Amino acid sequence: MRILMIEDDRELCDATAMQLRQQGYDVDLSHDGEEGLYYMQQGVYDLVLLDRMLPLLDGLSVLRNAREGGITTPVLLLTALGRVGDRVDGLDAGADDYLTKPFDIRELLARVRALVRRPGEIRTKQEVRFGDLLLDLSALTLEGEKARCTLSKKEGELLGMLMKSAGQTLSRANLFGRVWGPDTDVEEASLDSYAHFVRRRLAAVSDHVRLVTVRGVGYRLEEGPC
């Protein structure tokens, strides 16, 4: 379960992230609205905790932009603005739930659990196609002309990024940040390991799509003989 928290109060971010990680969640942090929207748009998160008052782009604008772009990830809006009108504005902008600050961490955790228990209501099937490939990001399955296989979560996230930008070279830093998140402690060399795993998956299901290494830059997915 991967959570994105978009909050400019770094102390609150760190404290909340620690509590969430203790409950077994993977947590990435962002501290301004523009960066937060960028990470939301990658489609790799199961839940977003979104502050309303953010630098560069406010929380309601982040939320509206995400919803208009087809992002259906559940969003729990966190804010010090607790009037009825404020809550209505947040829900109308596309929030799934609303929690006012200061909040008790026990209530936050309960609301997180409630949101992630409702997959039928808040999530849709996520499919990406390229060439003869069909990637189902919700089921973590990859299907091609030759076969069908299951993927690990990181394999699915990496391949999903590559398929969505098929034909374009994605830099190592871009891929690593989008798949592992901006605050990860994982070494960047892990990207090469997962690229190797993805190549094996591609070879197992398709003879028409290949992962190309662009030396010194990154990776690109393209159609062509494997």
pLDDT of res. 125:
54
Note the pLDDT tens digit of each residue in 199-210: 999 999 999 999
Per-residue pLDDT tens over the stretch 37-72: 998 887 778 899 999 999 999 999 999 998 888 788
Global confidence as pTM: 0.58
**pLDDT band at 118, cuts 50/70/90?**
low
pLDDT exceeds 70 at position 187 = yes
Residue 226 has pLDDT above 60, yes or no: no
Q: What is the pLDDT of residue 120?
A: 46
**Alpha carbon distance 95, 110 (integer Å):** 17
| Separation in Å, CA 210 to CA 34, 130, 159, 161, 173 | 33, 11, 11, 14, 21
In the prediction, which pLDDT does 121 show?
Answer: 43
Token digits for 12? 């609150």
Give the pLDDT of residue 210. Answer: 94
